[in-house]
Structures are given as structure tokens and as C-alpha cells.
Amino acid sequence: MQNYSFVPGSGTLSLDPGTYRMVTLSVPAGLGGLPDAGTTAGITPELALSFDAKASITPFSLSELTEETLSAASVYTATLLPATSLLSLRVSGLPEGSSAEFTLLGMYASVGLDGTYAGSLDYPVSASGETVCFPTPGAATLSYSVDGGEPRSLPVGRTLEAGNRLTLELAWGEELREISVSGATVMDWIPGNDTGEAGDAK
């Protein structure tokens, strides 16, 4: 396999006629794992792509790994799909002057060129906005603390999937002094496009 860098819509790749495994991806700042453009060392379908420890996860896209038989005049077209997810939290009812901090527990830590996710990472998420994340292997779980108190676990009941925006309505309950999930909405999400189709919003 070889690694080529190009500007979308203007890339030309010269290859001898034959059969190749092809994958295309965007490479945002902070995404690690790929060798330098033009090199081949270490490139396999299972090559893990992850973000540097000090970098925030940002949207990136990945095409399906396909086997292409190319002639001298072939055109290769790749459809890129989101490899990341969007998690949005809306917290209501906290006592005045209080604040909460949230962490997404056990999300995937990387994705391979073959589209396979792996690893596990606990990742801080915004308490009042949107956070780009990797998907979760099953129903997501948050950890939260209020005013720096002891962290508590909050099962979400929804899986965070690539290409989805998961919006969680969270409510503080004064009687039990805990946060619970009061609503969830799942929408299709394409980075850079704020529109989407809602689904399964019980």
C-alpha cells in the first residue's frame, strides 16, 4: 500500500494497471497514525488512526476500504462517511451557582483504515454544548460530578454511532441530588452540515 496526499477534487494518482486496495480519508489536525505522504512503511488495512493525547477529537471522514481493478484510464471515486460522532448535552435544574463536569466512559480510542474501531478511552465532554467523539462499543455511559464532588455513573441507554448526533436532555433531581436522562434524540450528522433526520427519540 502507498500513502498519497491530495486536495479534494484535484488529485491524480499514477499507478500501473492492476488490482489495488483503496481507501480515502480526511486528515484533520491532531490525527495520528498515518506515515508521511509518499511512504509505505507500516500501512496496513488495520492501521489505527487516533488523535494525539493533547488534541481534541475533531470530525474526520473515511471511505470504505475497497479492492479496485484499475486500467491506465481508470477513475477511482470514494464516498467519505463520518468516522466520528457528535454528543450534545443539555443540563437543566442545577442549583444556582452549581456546575457539572462530564466524561464519556469507554468510547473507542481509534479506527482502522478498514473501518474497524478498537481500544477504549474516557473522554471529557462539554456540559453545555457539542463534543465530537469516537463511537461507543455499546450503550454509552457518562461519569459526572457536581461542584467537584464524587464522580457518579450515568448510563445513557443509547449507543453513540459514527455519523450520528446524540442529544441528551439531562435533569438535576434535588430530592435524590443526582442527574438523570430525561430525553434523548438521535439524528444523522454530517460534519459541516447542521441539518439531519431525527430518529428514535423516545
pLDDT at 119: 96
Answer yes or no: are the C-beta atoms of 63 and 23 closer than 8 Å: yes
pLDDT in tens, 82-141: 999 999 999 999 999 999 999 999 999 999 999 999 999 999 999 988 999 999 999 999
Mean predicted lDDT score pLDDT of the chain: 87
Angle at 9 between CA 5 and CA 13, to 5 degrees: 50
Residue 160 and residue 164: Cα distance in Å, rounded?
7
Look at the domain 83-199 and name its fold.
Answer: Immunoglobulin-like (2.60.40)
Sorted by where each begins, the domain ranges of the chain are 83-199
Residue 73 and residue 190: Cα distance in Å, rounded?
32
Angle at 193 between CA 137 and CA 120, to 5 degrees: 20
Residue 176 and residue 187: Cα distance in Å, rounded?
31
pLDDT at 196: 42
pTM of the model: 0.86
